[in-house]
Amino acid sequence: MKKLFIKNMAPIAVAVLGISGAFVTTSMQSASKSDAPPKIGYLANAQGKCTDTAVNCDDTPSAFLCRLGITSGPVAYNKDAQNNCVQPLYRP
């Protein structure tokens, strides 16, 4: 009787483990991107140099540029090693 129970329940247990494993790996793949820290954007002055005003932005291209006033205001840029603002950043 015990062997019959194990023989009948083993395929069901394997199927349950397989399905639960599929759901766990799917949820882990979709959660990894949102943990990235925000990119700090800086405002450019007339000479193209970055000012000390920091704005939270993202470097992933999107339809909306990162601005000081969210939808209006000066565009935020990525600061390079020479303190130049040349690469515009995007809204997170």
pLDDT at 25 over 60: yes
| 27 plus 15 within the same structural domain | yes
* Residue 33: per-residue pLDDT: 54
| 41 plus 26 within the same structural domain | no
| 40 plus 78 within the same structural domain | yes
| 56 plus 46 within the same structural domain | yes
* Residue 29: per-residue pLDDT: 56
Determine what percent of the chain is predicted with pLDDT higher than 90: 0
Domains contained in the chain, number: 2
Q: What is the pTM of this model?
A: 0.56
Pairing of strands 67-69, 72-79: antiparallel
| 18 plus 42 within the same structural domain | no
* Per-chain mean pLDDT for the chain: 81
Query: Do 45 and 77 meet the contact criterion of CB atoms below 8 Å apart?
Result: no
Structural domain containing residue 53:
36-88
| 61 plus 46 within the same structural domain | yes
| 40 plus 72 within the same structural domain | yes
* Residue 70: per-residue pLDDT: 73
| 42 plus 11 within the same structural domain | no
Q: What is the pLDDT of residues 30-72, one digit of tens each?
A: 555 556 678 888 888 888 788 888 888 888 888 889 888 877 8
CA distance 1 to 44: 79
| 22 plus 53 within the same structural domain | no
Put residue 73 in one of left, alpha, beta given phi > 0 → left and psi -120 to 50 → alpha.
left
| 81 plus 52 within the same structural domain | yes
| Residue of higher predicted confidence among 82 and 26 | 82
